[in-house]
Amino acid sequence: MSDNPPASNHKQRFRTKKHLHLVPSLEAGTVLELLPPGSFAKLRNQPNDLPPFQVINCKGGRCWVRQQAWGRYVHWEVEHHRLKSA
C-alpha cells in the first residue's frame, strides 16, 4: 500500500493554500504606459522649461522619479497615471 494521500485530499490541500491579492483597479479602459527604470518621463501639464524626470522604479500604481540635478538619493513618489514618457 502506498503512503501517498488520496488524490482528493491532495487537491484540497493545495486549494486551501492559494492566496488572492487584490489590487485597486483604475478606471475601466485605462492603460498605463510602460515606464521602465532608467527611462525619462514628464508630468502631465509639466512646464516646458522643467527637464524630464528619470524613472527609478514603478510598482503598484506609484513611480519613484528624480531630477538628475537633485542628486542620487533624492527622489519623489508620483502616481503612475500622472506621468507620460518623454
What domain range is 55 assigned to? 26-85
Query: Which pLDDT band holds residue 63 (cuts at 50, 70, 90)?
Result: very high
Q: Is the pLDDT of residue 20 over 60?
A: yes
Task: Give me the number of domains the chain comprises.
Answer: 1
* 73 DSSP 8-state letter: T
Res 62 pLDDT > 90: yes
> What is the edge-to-edge ordering of all strands in the sheet holding 53-59?
76-79, 62-66, 53-59, 40-43, 83-85
77 pLDDT exceeds 90?
Answer: yes
Decide if 18 is inside a domain.
Answer: no
pTM of the model: 0.61
Using the predicted structure, report yes or no on whether residue 52 has a pLDDT greater than 90.
Answer: yes
Q: Quick check: is 31 in a domain?
A: yes
20-27 long-range contacts, Cβ below 8 Å, gap at least 24? 23/60, 23/61, 24/61, 26/61, 26/81
Distance, CA of 54 to CA of 39 (rounded, Å): 6
